[in-house]
């Protein structure tokens, strides 16, 4: 799926968005826990919500 379509999908389905809390606590993200890029996302601030 092209990047522009993915962006639209994320906006259209905002109710199904993923929060930093989800990334920190849900087991589905366990395989990424040791990835430095994932750890950097978790260490950052919660992004501002855009409506």
Cβ-in-10-Å burial (0-12, 13-18, 19+) of 50 comes to exposed
- Tell me the two tokens of residue 46: 């919660």
Cα gap 24→43, rounded to integer Å? 10
Residue 50 has pLDDT above 80, yes or no: no
Cα gap 27→43, rounded to integer Å? 18
Cα gap 12→1, rounded to integer Å? 15
* pLDDT for 15: 59
- What is the rounded average pLDDT for all residues in the chain? 76
| Overall average pLDDT of the 4-20 stretch | 57
* pLDDT for 2: 52
Cα gap 41→4, rounded to integer Å? 22
């Amino acid at each position: 799926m092209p990047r522009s379509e993915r962006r639209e999908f994320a906006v259209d389905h905002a109710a199904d968005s993923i929060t930093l809390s989800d990334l920190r606590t849900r087991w589905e993200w366990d395989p990424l826990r040791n990835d430095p890029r994932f750890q950097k996302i978790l260490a950052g601030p919660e992004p501002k919500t855009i409506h």
